[in-house]
Amino acid sequence: MTSLKNCPAPAKLNLFLHVNGRRADGYHLLQTVFQLIDHGDTLHFALRDDHQIRRVTELPGVPEESDLIIRAARLLQAEVLRRQGALPAGVDIAIDKILPMGGGLGGGSSDAATTLMALNHLWRAGLSKQELMALGLPLGADIPFFIFGQTAFAEGVGEAMRPVKAPDCWYVVIEPGVAVPTAAIFCSEHLTRDTPVVIITDFSSHLENRIGLKGFGKNDLQQVATQLFPPVAEAIEWLGAYGDARMTGSGACVFSAVATENEADAVLAKVPAKWKAWKAKALDRHPIIEKL
């Protein structure tokens, strides 16, 4: 096999996101549930005759050298060299990019995870899921989740994951039109860092016979983001009229769960034109599993 086309890199939602503390090294201790959704980027891989790793798609504002896709590919290439004693073939990587930067949807991390999984297959590298997760973690805390590949209750800095069931529902997602820098949120003196720890059964029992999260948890980053970026607050307030609305990740995107696609369509029909909005179905498993 010399190519892999149409490899999905789905977005994620944080159904809740609690900050429980801070480690001595500055990393925050978190609890969250990661939910994959069927909306995301698409990547294409074609092996080269040399050993170069190139991104053949121009992405405004993202230099090739700093792109997580390229960094992930080079990291895996070096690991293959270390294990097998030979450098694998280079690769051209194209991307159909639809996920916004600074949206809290994990777009860059998902792209990197798909790159690691696809090239592990193309290069016949033979790394296990756990080995790929460990390889990706230094590049980004969300990358291991996408390789984990299913709805997850995550703790620590996001790397300790257990599978969990979440509703088979639809989501309405609004992009408020601003990019929220993660560092600015986590560095804020106004960030709550002492939310009490919950256990996985608290989440599971709350969602029995429910679709939305109303009454359970929150996103601790939301208060800071809405103060710094008023469009996020405005989107939450508007979407909140149709259900429990909250921000995903460090922002800026806002979401609400609904039971059916028809309900999602009804809400989307009313979204103000100044915002980009879309619907997505919850996914139990990462769709790239079917390709590999």
Catalytic residues: 12, 142
Tell me which residue has tokens 């509703």. 167
For residue 150, the 8-state DSSP code is B
Rounded to whole angstroms, the Cα distance separating 33 from 6 reads 27
Degrees (nearest 5) of the Cα angle 76, 79, 85?
130
Which tokens in the block code for residue 125?
């590298």
Q: Could you give the CA distance from residue 87 to residue 227 in angstroms, rounded to a whole number?
A: 49
2, 270, 277: which is closest to 122 by C-alpha? 2
Alpha-carbon span 287 to 37, nearest angstrom: 10
Alpha carbon 265 to chain centroid, angstroms: 23
Peptide bond into 273 cis (omega under 30): no
Output the CA angle 158-258-209, nearest 5 degrees.
80
Cα–Cα distance between 19 and 113 in angstroms, integer?
24
Residue 249: which of 277, 229, 225 has the closest Cα?
225
